[in-house]
Amino acid sequence: MEEPDLNSPEYYQNREVSLLEFNQRVLEQAKDERLPLLERVRFLAISSSNLDEFFEIRVAGLKQRVELGSSRPGPDGLTPQQQLDRIATRARELVAEQYRVLNDVIRPALEEQGLGIIGNRNVTKGVQRWMAEHFEREVEPVLTPLALDPSRPFPRIQNKSLNFIVRLAGTDAFGRNTSLAIVQVPRSLPRVMHVGGTRSVDGPTTALLSRIIQVNIDRLFEGVEVQGCWQFRVTRNSDLYVDDEEVDDLLRAVEGELAHRRYGAAVRLETAADCPEDLVLFLRSHFSLEPDDVYLVNGPVNLHRLMGLYDLVERPDLKFPAFTPGVPSRLGQQADLFSEIRGREVLLHHPFQSFQPVTDFVRQAATDPWVLAIKMTLYRTGADSLIVDGLVEAARHGKDVTVIVELRARFDEAANIELATRLQEAGVHVMYGVVGYKTHAKLIMVVRREDNRLKRYCHVGTGNYHARTARSYTDYGLFTCDAEIGEDLHDLFLQMTGLTKAPALRKLLQSPFTLHAALLAKIEREIEHARAGRPARIVAKMNSLIEPEIVRALYRASQAGVRCRLIIRGICALKPGIAGVSDNITVRSVVGRFLEHSRVCYFTNGGEEELFCASADWMERNFFRRIEVGFPIQRAKHRKRILADLETYLADNVDAWELQADGSYVRVAPGEAERCCAQEALLERYAD
């Protein structure tokens, strides 16, 4: 039998299509009647937000490649233009389904719960009166209608801002014919509100700001006839471009690019489905878009605003039950964390276990008289971060504090610039990473004097130092004072701050130098074990798998008989279950209450088990264009624990989807098996 060519495009799924399929799985959560209603609203909003980012980054990048004349295909064999064609078809189907779910599923369910949203029909006089009063009192003073004429050209439209195009008839105050105007919806006003405020009004109980404006739009144009108004929104290219070879001040370069992001090249136009064809053409021409870039929607433009409904309505019965993250007894509020970590390594699994010990670690280091230095990487953090407060406090206590802030953390650039400024003002040594490589590793190192010698205490993790996302993202974090890991972190910080050449690391794996090669070597080692008849198995969990060499290595492992069990939340270029190529590979995606974010890889290794956690997905950017760190789980107890977690995900028959050989996903059903929801099981296992 002829050996299959593992480079053949037939064995690779397109990353953009795969990402859209992930968004479909998110949308399916909005249809799942087993979930609390307001959680379903939240999933619908998330699917809209995900699609926004997809157009801002992925579609924008493909359009740029087409404009530059690129026709180079990816591993799947599709050129940039072919990818855009597929996206246009699949994304249109996805948008149509989003609005079908809103109109036919979510809105009726909300009405049944007494949470109706003001629509076009059956609006009572009381609701009409309240909308008019609210518009006059709270909305109209903030609006600025912009009539279009030769002296007032089309206004600049910000990325993802909501607007109305208004058709007018008659003469204006100066005796001129007026035909069109633009009304920009202010971002300073809440997008969702209670109808009536504190007083009761018969009818729907919630209102969208856009509906209130639309109903009262004629009040902005006294003396002329308003023939109609229609919502529209433009999505723009939001990827920052910083020339790594030319830039001499990264902070200023990023600040400059942020100013342009709001007005980048348009990539998508959304308009109301009933918007007249001539106005759609007018808008499309103004933004230089093609017909495939226009999305007519049957409902309010920008479903992400429905997240405001989730936040507004206080109905615990319509949301997931509250939970209290667990805290290991060793790490209680009064615990001496240095003593506990010195005793043995501590493993945390967020959000099932609390993020508080990580915050406490920095806060204790800030005031501990024996701590000399703190070094840390920050990719994303919250606006009111207790960790940042701890770093500031440490600097004020005379500690040497060094923080590597990644200014180019996508959509957090402005927040990180503000964070860097605050830290610098407190006396912290702030670095912006390495030009050309995003610093994505999650590292803290505390240097402490003990018994007349220096000891390093470390935290390494798979997630960000962000307390809010630690409540909704699944991630692992490890506290250790292992001497060799401490030496490795010391060398890594020297490399990142001084750009020195780091010696060979002892235990950690690092991108862009050793992580990719090490994973390939471990997969090849598993292949040799399988061929020799020894135990051979790979279990890996991540957000995305697209790097071609890794995919080919996994195919070879499957051909050699290695059982590969992959848990991949989002993009997967690999196709499982292909005869003679990937028979021994299964891929599942778990989409549930929490965003699956941890990266783990386990190797049976002939009985000498190895397990690593990492900050990196298995993508080219993570292996070759980012600074990432993989760390070993050395305690047998911890390896057993994480492997048990992975097995729980592999047994999930509630939130899991199985990837098929044709690239489609099929939802796993319990059937006659006992119901198993991995995230619920982990909450029971770890939460308080």
Cite the active site residues: 440
Report the DSSP beta bridge partners of residue 329: none
- Chain-centre distance of CA 229, in angstroms? 34
Amino acid at 34: R
| 134, 204, 463 from 189: Cα distances, Å | 12, 20, 33
Backbone angles phi, psi at 38, to 5 degrees: -70, -25
* Spatial distance between the Cα atoms of 429 and 301, rounded to a whole number of angstroms: 45
What is the CA angle 349-352-354, rounded to 5? Answer: 80
For the chain, the C-alpha Rg in angstroms (whole number) is: 27
- Helix (DSSP H) and strand (DSSP E) numbers for the chain: 20, 26
Residues constituting the chain: 688
Backbone angles phi, psi at 152, to 5 degrees: -130, 85
* Spatial distance between the Cα atoms of 126 and 123, rounded to a whole number of angstroms: 8
Residue 350: closest CA among 331, 375, 374, 325: 325
**Two structure tokens written together for 272:** 């109301």
In the block, which residue shows the tokens 């009063």? Answer: 133
Please give the sequence-ordered ranges of beta strands (E in DSSP) within 71-197, or none if there are none.
Answer: 145-147, 162-169, 180-184, 192-194
- Chain-centre distance of CA 176, in angstroms? 50
Q: Is 378 helix (H, G, I), strand (E, B) or coil?
A: strand
Work out the widest C-alpha separation in the chain, in whole angstroms. Answer: 91
**Do the Cβ atoms of 507 and 632 come closer than 8 Å?**
yes
| 117, 119, 140, 637 from 205: Cα distances, Å | 6, 11, 21, 53
Residues 21-45 as b/e (b if ≥16 CB within 10 A, e otherwise) read: bbbbbbbbbbbeeebbbbbbbbbbb
**Two structure tokens written together for 584:** 């021994």
Instruction: Give one word for 203, left, alpha or beta, with left for phi > 0 and alpha for psi -120 to 50.
Output: left
